[in-house]
Structure 1
Amino acid sequence: MTHDMSITSLFLQASPVVQFIMLLLLGTSVVSWAFIFQRNSALSQAEKEVKAFEDEFWSGADLNQLYSQYSQQENMSGCSLIFCSGFKEYVRLHKAAGAVHESIMDGAYRAMRVAMSREIDGLEARLPFLATVGSISPYVGLLGTVWGIMNAFIALGQVKQATLQMVAPGIAEALIATAIGLFAAIPAVVAYNRFSTKVEKIENTYGNFMEEFSSILHRQSITKRG
């Protein structure tokens, strides 16, 4: 490959529209990789938190002591936040005069459901962006390719004798846009699918914990009433 056909030279020789599309896709790819690293760290931390809390919860720790321990933390998350939200509402309703068993359990469950919903929203942050990049980047790159080839053929039509040497640079610079689009899309799609599976797994774990903890509160409430 000669110097004139290098990627840098082809980029500099491209039309402003194609250059803009290339820069847009490169910028999108950089942002995508930043989100990929950030989401990978956040989801890995969430998985560790779930395992650590469940190990402590099912070790037979007293619920009041467990609540006192975790409620003092400034940045609760995951199962600890769901637990504290449900237990706090359960205790508050139990102390309320005239509270019935059904309303106590419904209130505690709703509090845990709200906490879980907020946690899932946080875990899913940036995933729509990755999905969007993965779905539209190839088409944006294809737009740059079509635009570049169109300009190459327009220029070709203005000369009397066309040669491959004349049209090759224009077509090559146009195809680079498609390559950059795929470069931005493929990691985003892979990361989105991987992270979505992780979030679904964590959500199922949260849901199972909610059901199991609700059963514990249910038995405890019946015992107190008895």
Structure 2
Amino acid sequence: MMPKTRDPDTVLEGVQRSMRVAWSREEDRLTQHLVFLATVASASPYIGLFGTVWGIMGSFQALSLTQQATLATVAPWIAEALIATAMGLFAAIPAVIFYNRLSNSSSRLLGKYEDFAEEFHAILHRNLQGRDGKPSAS
């Protein structure tokens, strides 16, 4: 008894659908942390800026409470402002770098997956055409 053969178009559609699902899952896996990195990269400078403004406001308040303006009066607040700025940049700069690297690597890898899927589809198509015989030119 001969094994039942499937229609080549049905096989190709099934393989294409499976490849799209696999590609989509891999895209999700590769890009799952990009949103976090983008959020840190964009929000951290503003958080640092808020700390800077807070520190400068504190230094002005300290100045308003003294009769004489001295460095000892404003130095703690200015130091706090500079630390807040540095912390914001310390979080944002690596997040931007890693976002760009991960995004670029993901894009290149997904492009390779897409190329593979297209090549696999073409090879399978040729093999299925050869197995079932090519239409005769009458």
TM over 0.5: same fold? yes
Runs of 4+ with deviation above 4 angstroms: none
Contact 2:48 2:86 in 1 (8 A): yes
Contact 2:40 2:92 in 1 (8 A): yes
Matched with 1:104 is 11
Shift of 1:110: 1.1
Q: Among 203, 207, 216, which residue is 2:114 paired with?
A: 207
Shift of 1:164: 2.6
Matched with 2:40 is 133
Q: Among 31, 42, 54, which residue is 1:124 paired with?
A: 31
Q: Among 176, 193, 216, which residue is 2:100 paired with?
A: 193
Matched with 1:143 is 50
Matched with 2:80 is 173
Shift of 1:218: 0.3
Shift of 1:216: 0.8
3-state SS in 1 of match to 2:65? coil
3-state SS in 1 of match to 2:105? helix
How does 1:5-16 map onto structure 2 within 5 Å? none
3-state SS in 2 of match to 1:119? helix
3-state SS in 2 of match to 1:118? helix
Shift of 1:160: 1.9
What amino acid is the match of 1:102?
D
Matched with 2:136 is none
1:15-36 CA distance string (max 9 Å, x none): xxxxxxxxxxxxxxxxxxxxxx
1:177-224 CA distance string (max 9 Å, x none): 010110111111111101111111100100000000000110111122
What amino acid is the match of 2:79?
A
Identity within the alignment, %: 56
1:73-98 CA distance string (max 9 Å, x none): xxxxxxxxxxxxxxxxxxxxxx57xx
CA–CA separation in structure 2 for the residues paired with 1:157 and 1:100? 86
User: TM-score, length-normalised on structure 1?
Assistant: 0.54
Pair 1:182-2:76 in alignment? no
Cα RMSD, aligned residues only: 1.5
Matched with 1:45 is none
Shift of 1:102: 2.6
User: TM-score, length-normalised on structure 2?
Assistant: 0.87
What amino acid is the match of 1:202?
L
Q: Among 71, 90, 96, which residue is 1:164 paired with?
A: 71
Q: Among 125, 131, 135, which residue is 1:224 paired with?
A: 131
What amino acid is the match of 1:180?
M
